[in-house]
Amino acid sequence: MRTFLLLLCLVLPAAANMASPWQRGDAVGEPVGALADLHVRHERLTLDLTSLSQRNGRAHITAVYEIENTAGPKSPELLFVSLALDKCQVSLDGQPLQAERVEVNEAPPNWSPPERVPSLDGETTNSVYEDGLGGLRFRPQLTPGKHQLEVSYECLPGAYHPTDRVYREHQLVYLLSPAKAWASFGTLEIAVSLPAGFEQTSNLKLERQGDQLTGKFEGLPADYLALTVGKLGSDPTPVYRWVGGLLGLALAILVAGPRPLLALLTGCIFTGVGVASGSAIASGTFDLEQISRSFSYGRMLGGLAEVLLGALIGLVVAPVVAWLRKRRSSQPG
């Protein structure tokens, strides 16, 4: 028994660290390139996060720039930096542009994603990004005057899996700092669509109406936009699990009698069945698409500890109960 408990002390911390609470995501943002003499009069940034309600959901981003070229004809090389941009489309004045995927050996100027972002609990948490950089490169032909440049793509946000809360948090960082390279920057308009029932927090002040966020800023409000979204929910599992486990333990004690090995075995089995049944009943209230993987491991390890505790209690209490029953039956009526 002593050896078993020592091994258990080694196994449980290792199991608790089976997965990092942070899931890497793509940092995305404004284009970089030779932007002198090019003025952004207005940008409309649209972030559609509704598919994050599904497993492996992605964010759909559309940026529309009202650009004015105050110099001669230009063909600047523009680069949208990210490791994984999917379903990319680029157009200039309504006409599609050819774009190519490229590798980026080093981060461009003003490309510095934040290490920490807001969390739904009112604090901040780490934000972890995919290693390496890639990008989407294109060359718009800009004659003097006004133009409309539109870029749309999908990316995979990062995620934080808390151990003390039921659901994970989705983290999206959009870098605004590269836009400092434009000759000037006018108005930034932001619109965000959230999954139904999701909470959100951000480093920028955004107005919420229903599941829509909006914001309008003169100039660049910050070096980046950080959005954290997710569901909030309490965990009913412990109550169901403990009730089920105690019922199973009581039955095990009645069955085992004074036999130690049987008490240990039935304590494990009956308590385990009760804990598992309680967990299954409580899990019916969860959105399993959003559950935090770290929280899941915590529930599993907590259930294992309760089963072992039930076995030990059964080993100690079952003989006592059997002795009391025997003593009562031996007393003269």
- 104 lies in the same domain as 158: yes
Count of domains forming the chain: 2
Q: Which domain holds residue 302?
A: 234-330
Question: Tokens in use for 284?
Answer: 């019916």
Residue 21's pLDDT band, with cuts at 50, 70 and 90, is: confident
Domain co-membership, 55 together with 166: yes
What is the gyration radius of the CA atoms in the chain, in angstroms? 29
Q: 277 and 312 in one domain?
A: yes
Residues 319, 17: Cα–Cα separation, whole Å: 38
Give every CB contact of residue 11 below 8 A, 6+ residues apart in sequence.
Answer: none
Q: How many CB atoms lie within 10 A of CB 254?
A: 14
At residue 330, the 3 state secondary structure works out as helix
Q: How many CB atoms lie within 10 A of CB 170?
A: 26
Q: What is the average pLDDT across 129-139?
A: 72
221-263 per-position pLDDT tens digit: 999 999 999 887 655 566 656 666 666 667 776 676 667 667 6
Could you give the C-alpha distances from 276 to 152, 233, 247, 248, 262, in angstroms and in order? 46, 21, 12, 10, 21
**C-beta of residue 314 within 8 angstroms of C-beta of residue 267:** yes
Over 50: is that where the pLDDT of 13 sits?
A: no
User: Is residue 225 within 8 Å of 219, Cβ to Cβ?
Assistant: no
Report if residue 7 sits inside a domain: no
**Do 34 and 111 have their domain in common?**
yes
DSSP 129: B
Helix axes 260-283, 293-330, angle to 10 degrees: 140
> What pLDDT score was predicted for residue 85?
62
Query: Tell me, what's the pLDDT at 282?
Result: 54
Residues 246 and 201 in one domain: no
Share of residues in the chain with pLDDT > 70 (%) = 64
Same-domain status, 268 and 133 = no
Across the range 38-48, mean pLDDT stands at 96
Instruction: Looking at the structure, tell me whether residues 192 and 294 fall in a common domain.
Output: no
Q: Is the pLDDT of residue 330 over 70?
A: no
Do 63 and 177 lie in one domain? The reply is yes
Distance CA 120, CA 201 (A): 6
First to last CA, the chain: 42
Q: How confident is the model over 203-230, as a mean pLDDT? A: 95
Q: Please give the pLDDT value at position 20.
A: 72
- State both tokens at 4: 């078993």
pLDDT band at 44 (very low <50, low <70, confident <90, very high): very high
Identify the pLDDT of residue 1.
44
Residue 136 lies in a domain: yes
Q: Which of 230, 262, 282 is the last residue of a domain?
A: 230
Q: Does the residue 48 lie in any domain?
A: yes
On whether both 166 and 139 belong to a single domain, the answer is: yes
Q: What is the DSSP letter of 151?
A: E
What is the distance of C-alpha 248 from the center of its chain?
36
Q: What pLDDT does residue 243 have?
A: 65
pLDDT of 244 reads: 64
In a domain, 303, yes or no: yes
Task: Identify the CATH number of the domain in which residue 160 sits.
Answer: 2.60.40.3680
Look at residue 127 and tell me if it is in a domain. Answer: yes
Q: Which of the listed residues 170, 196, 230 is the one where a domain comes to its end?
A: 230
Select from 209, 230, 251 the last residue of a domain.
230
What pLDDT is attached to residue 278?
A: 61
Residues 241, 317 within the same domain: yes
Instruction: Give the mean model confidence (pLDDT) for residues 76-80.
Output: 83
Give the lowest-confidence range in 182-191, 206-215, 264-273.
264-273
Helix boundaries (H) for the chain: 2-16, 237-256, 260-283, 293-330
11 domain-assigned: no
Average pLDDT estimate for 158-171: 80
Averaged pLDDT for residues 31-37: 82
Q: How many Cβ atoms are within 10 Å of 119's Cβ, its own excluded?
A: 19
Decide if pLDDT at 31 tops 60: yes
**Does residue 10 fall inside a structural domain?**
no
Is the domain of 31 the same as that of 142? yes
Burial class for 135, CB neighbours closer than 10 Å (0-12, 13-18, 19+): buried
What mean pLDDT do residues 306-314 have?
68
Q: Work out the number of other CB atoms within 10 angstroms of the CB of residue 48.
A: 17
3-state SS, one letter per residue, for 287-306: CCCCECHHHHHHHHHHHHHH
- Tell me, what's the pLDDT at 103? 74
Q: Over range 185-213, report the average pLDDT.
A: 95
Q: How confident is the model at residue 288 (pLDDT cuts 50, 70, 90)?
A: low
If asked whether residues 120 and 157 sit together in one domain, one would say: yes
Q: Is residue 87 part of a domain?
A: yes
Helix (H, G, I), strand (E, B) or coil at 114: coil
What share of the chain has pLDDT > 90, as a percent?
Answer: 28
List all residues 6 or more positions away from 93 whose beta carbon is below 8 Å from its beta carbon.
Answer: 147, 148
Distance CA 205, CA 125 (A): 19
Q: What pLDDT, on a 0 to 100 scale, did the predictor assign at position 315? A: 67
What does pLDDT average to over the chain? 77
